[in-house]
Amino acid sequence: MRSIAASDASHPRLVELDALRGLAALVVALYHFTAEYSDLYGHSVPLWGEARFGKYGVQLFFAISGFVILMSLERITRARDFVSSRAARLYPAYWTAVLLTFTVVSLFGLPNREFSLQTALINLTMFHELVRVPHVDTVYWTLTIELSFYLLMFLIAYARALPRVIPLFIVLVSLQTLAELAFEAMGMPFVARLASRPHLQFFALGVLAFKQSRGEVSVPAALALVGVCLAHEVFVGSIAPVPVFGVVLVLTYALSRGALRWLTWRPLLFMGLISYPFYLVHQNIGYVIIRRLEAAGWRPEAAIAVAFAVGFLLATVITYRIEQPALRAYRQLRRKAQERSAVSPHVA
């Protein structure tokens, strides 16, 4: 999928979506470099402040994925093309990030985050969590959830049920909520936590926002979906407190109404362009940099600034030298395959 920032100018909401993605990536990284680093290793001196709220940027990522994936599915003619396009979009940058992070951590060390080459190689599948192999970088936990959502949306598209996606999500979120409540009541909190893993309530907000932006959802259906998602957060809860759900709901609704054009600031749009590689490489490599610089006497804020700068640089290189060339190659192969399929009936 091409960059949202590079989308047709006749679709300004897509640009706003990219800005939101960039903002989410920044707040997540700010949380990791300030609050989480403090919890894991401790900064050399107290920080000026800690961005603990930034950990909930991933919920915004999930909602953005709901919007983008439904938009992507409605642009393709065959459901199986969705699988190949997602793989071309995700894997080249991911493989680069895994190998780069593994190499840096192996060379410079990072307590409790050093793994074998075998673990790194299994991580390359992106399905490693399903076979209980640890993450080379813990930010990868969201990828398993994203893949689960992609599979769900593929099945919905394959069943030609996209026109009924809102009623389907009303049912799915309701079933998820009931399952979690039932397992908790039976004294099975671990199973309840597994049932909550898909985070469907946040993906649903993005799906709803896309349908609202197209004027394809009725008010009663929209209210019903928001209602079951809110009920999940109130009666069951998740890793994010209820106010986070409210913030994501407001942002996705504003996105659907074209009310976030003030976010289209060029640096933020560029951050959106490189957000996926940045998310993949920033954490453990950033921690290595912060540890080394603070040990050398740097102020934590200066060390964090360098970690951000290195993350931006690596993400930019991966975007322009790995991710985008891989996408261009995929599109060329797909175009040639379409041309062959168009010619073959005449040849026959």
Q: Which of 7-16, 49-58, 210-219, 323-332 has the lowest mean pLDDT?
A: 7-16
pLDDT exceeds cutoff 80 at 226: yes
Whole-number pLDDT of residue 9: 36
Query: What is the reported pTM?
Result: 0.91
**Of 2-16, 46-60, 162-176, where does mean pLDDT reach its minimum?**
2-16
Q: Which pLDDT belongs to residue 11?
A: 43
Percent of the chain with pLDDT over 70: 93
Predicted pLDDT at 7: 37
Taking residues 241-265, report their average pLDDT.
Answer: 93
Helix, strand, coil percentages in the chain from 3-state DSSP, rounded to 5: 80, 0, 20
Q: What is the pLDDT of residues 188-202, one digit of tens each?
A: 776 666 666 779 999
- The model's confidence at residue 344, banded by pLDDT at 50, 70 and 90, is low
Burial of 282 from C-beta contacts in 10 A (0-12 / 13-18 / 19+) = buried
Report the pLDDT value the prediction gives residue 176, as an integer from 0 to 100.
92
Using the predicted structure, report yes or no on whether residue 236 has a pLDDT greater than 90: no
Q: What is the pLDDT of residue 165?
A: 97
Least confident span in 168-182, 268-282, 326-340: 326-340
Q: Work out the angle at residue 326's Cα, subtended by the Cα atoms of residues 70 and 334, and round it to the nearest 5 degrees.
A: 65
Separation in Å, CA 94 to CA 19, 21, 262, 281, 287 = 21, 17, 31, 9, 19
Q: What is the pLDDT averaged over residues 130-154?
A: 95
The predicted model gives 157-179 an average pLDDT of 94
The pLDDT confidence band at residue 26, using thresholds 50, 70 and 90, is: very high
User: What pLDDT was estimated at residue 187?
Assistant: 81
Long-range contacts of 162-171 (CB under 8 A, 24+ apart): 162/70, 162/73, 162/74, 165/70, 165/207, 165/211, 166/207, 166/208, 166/211, 166/217, 166/221, 166/222, 166/225, 167/221, 169/200, 169/204, 169/207, 169/208, 169/225, 170/221, 170/224, 170/225, 170/228
